[in-house]
Amino acid sequence: QVQLVESGGGLVQAGGSLRLSCAASEGTFIAYVMGWFRQAPGNEREFVSAIAWSASNTAGNTYYADSVKGRFTLSRDNAKNTLYLQMNSLKPEDTALYYCAGVPRTTAAEISRENTYDSWGQGIQVTVSS
């Protein structure tokens, strides 16, 4: 497991942007599958986005929930062991506690499943006002 620490959350108006960061303690971060999940009050935790190492794509293969596709962009800086989630055109329904997660390896079929991941951050609040 790796230690994950999120930052960058806060309060923003609808239509605004935020960038979340997730700093990992592990030097093998480059090989990890990294993801973001979120949980709104009264709801279950849901998949937001994930990125996996790819031999054919140095930027990594990215996956997005339909609800954020086209608005959120996931990227990673392996030199800094950091994962980024750029969130644009934010909506009130994006309000949630956002969690960074990691796992050494997984399949595309399982990358969006919460129980796939074995390392989790403490969560960071994102609030979008209307």
* Residue 88, pLDDT above cutoff 80: yes
Which token pair is 85? 């989630």
Confirm if 36 and 48 have CB atoms less than 8 A apart: yes
The predicted-structure confidence for 48-63, as pLDDT tens digits, reads as follows 999 997 777 777 899 9
CA atoms within 13 A on the CB side of 54: 14
Q: What is the mean pLDDT of residues 64-92?
A: 95
The predicted-structure confidence for 2-55, as pLDDT tens digits, reads as follows 899 999 999 999 999 999 999 998 766 777 899 999 999 999 999 999 999 777
Provide the pLDDT confidence category of residue 130 given band limits of 50, 70 and 90: very high
